[in-house]
Structure 1
Amino acid sequence: MVDAHQTFVIVGGGLAGAKAAETLRAEGFTGRVILICDERDHPYERPPLSKGYLLGKEERDSVFVHEPAWYAQAHIELHLGQPAVHLDPAAKTVRLGDGTLIAYDKLLLATGAEPRRLDVPGTGLAGVHHLRRLAHAERLRGVLASLGRDNGHLVIAGAGWIGLEVAAAARSYGAEVTVVEPAPTPLHGILGPELGGLFADLHREHGVRFHFGARLTEIVGQDGMVLAVHTDDGEEHPAHDVLAAIGAAPRTALAEQAGLDLVDREAGGGIAVDAALRTSDPYIYAAGDVAAADHPVLDGRLRVEHWANALNGGPAAAQAMLGRDVSYDRIPYFFSDQYDVGMEYSGYAPPGSYAQVVCRGDVAKREFIAFWLAADGRLLAGMNVNVWDVAESLQQLIRSGASLAPEALADPEVPLASLLP
């Protein structure tokens, strides 16, 4: 039974929002739970959109967090296809696009992120795509199949995780692929120069062409369709379709309008929250891609745009909303599958933050573990490539803050667990 003694509102129908709603009920909250989603689909997970579903290996229904009937059974009030357009912290109300006004006792912002747009001529052509939502993946899946049948060309702007995963999917359909990236290697801002080249080699072996050190300046077309792209170094690449994969921006408009504290874009952007995922308003919380949280272990503010953060951050915010003592200290984690290479990455080590990278295993065969070390020997991040069941040990080593000997990390005969203090 649901009583009206309290109303908790969740704005955002992604994984973080759905898992927060689930946690509220699992923890015995009997008040109203209202979940607001601007998409018409029920909450779903995003990794399959660039992996299994895009590849045609998973069915559409497999992406949903819960069966549609679950929400009614759990007494979760759904507002699908309705954006929240105004937040009034003083009145503690949210107004929806259709004018509906919803009062809350506590509110969770799980508004996620949206793809950054190419700011070049030609983005209005029919063959220009983004990949963030299920509708995008459905459309792109058909496009890749068509390109494969017709020997068509896909140009991808950006060699980050989304760009590379779509490149792998496109090649599996038989499409021609060119990736344009301003950095000198793929994933340069994540893996640095030491290991970015590994992924360039992997994709080249599967027929992907790279154009590094360049940006798109124009998409040219005829009769509304894409014909080619131009780059700032004067090159032209043939294209039938273009994917913009240049990152995502946190959806902070609602929080900004409400006067909540935000983080500057240069520092990662997002809604500023403490370790309990509480915003500058004590009745409003934030989780998932949009939240820039004080991290108790990594000693700084961090915004993480990965599946595991939504999976774990939503429930943590729900616990905090219930008055539990929460310190959200999960080590950032993500995974990727490209061709026959699977990898997991734990931690946070952008270029400039680490002193050296140490590898254990056979890098040439793409069966290894990479360790990003600080100058004092602390492990900042670890990536296992086609080596499994070590992510937990890597996270424990990061959490320990121990000074580690590079020789021990590089030696496959030394168990990782033995390096824990």
Structure 2
Amino acid sequence: MQTPTSATKNPEPAAVKLPREIKVLVAAAFMIAIGFGIVAPVLPQFAQSFDVGVTAAAVVVSAFAFTRLIFAPLSGWLVERTGERITYIVGILIVAASSAACAFAQDYWQLLIFRGLGGIGSTMFSVAAMGLLIRLAPPQARGRVSSLYSGSFLLGNIAGPAVGGLLAGLGMQLPFLVYAGALVLVALLVATQLPAIALGKRKGRASTQAAAPKVVLPLREALTLPAYRAVLSSGFANGWSAFGIRMALVPLFATAVLGAGPEVAGVSLAVFAIGTGAALTFSGKLADSWGRKPMIMAGLAVNGIAMGALGFTGNELWFFIVSAIAGLGSGLMGPAQQATVADVIGNGRSGGKVLATFQMSGDLGAIIGPIAAGVLVDAFSYGPAFLMATAVALLSFLFWLPAKDTRQSL
């Protein structure tokens, strides 16, 4: 493994001043995450209010991720053709309209369609936000910026469900309307505070990098780079583990194996988030100083081993401890992954399809992971299902071994 370049060539992240626009995007991410968290605990119950079973209610939840996956390539194309800012605003407004429509759904199928359409807008603003962060983040602080952005989402996802539970007591439609209103405010925030990004009128380095037109990095060129192929594999592994297995299998394991109630599953999800948040306080800075590759490989190892061990915990205490360790692993690799993609694209280029493909790798893992785990649980037990997450992480670890650390090119 190559050693990181010296501090004379790469100043410490703390010495790099972040553009004001980065802080606007971080604030917007927090508002979006709170809104999403408000809706998350209500959505399955709202679906079941139309006299459908658990499986049908779960399909409504999955529809959002499915449409994100299907329409991610379109989002990449839109970013390259219309720019990040316009794509971001339009995507946010689509999700707002979808959420408001869900509140007025008259039957299950309307709810399914309206919720699914929101996934189109979600992938649009997600890809666009990554593009804006790449354009604006100083190369020496890409890991730190990724930590700030991911941390804002994490805090919003922690706070949102508590607010959503309170609002649900006033009617299950209200959280959807509150979410829609929050998204409209986000669209106004971005439209009024980031106009110079598209027009290139601000003075200074960040605005020069963000000004159009930009050279587009073709996806086929990015795929020739071992580091980009490796980050696609780790994105898939993280999606499989952190967003797939954790959300689908952990609650069932808590009930079926530990004999615990839903509150134990909820605590487990919370401590996973706490572990992730703890890692984000330092993992971004380390990705900027030590390198991307060491952090991603460490994250894969920690998360992969912990997820495999989770299926063999025999009591609630160890269940919580191992869940926190798994979350720590996810937090170790997250900022370094986004920084790697940013290094591949660079500040002077646009890479909508490159960004969209990276997002798709995580979404694909989040979709396939629960299905494969469910098959293993039915055929064997929970242990092999959790060990599959370890196997996927190991495969990604092997992809990273020959890859060059992209920080070396800065």
Compare the two structures and name the one with the higher helix fraction.
Answer: 2
Q: Is this a same-fold pair by TM over 0.5?
A: no
- Structure number having the greater strand percentage: 1
- Higher relative CO (Cα under 8 Å, sequence separation at least 6) belongs to 2
- The TM-score bracket by the shorter chain reads under 0.3
- Name the TM-score, length of structure 1 as normaliser: 0.27
Structure number, greater radius of gyration = 1
> Structure 2-normalised TM-score?
0.27
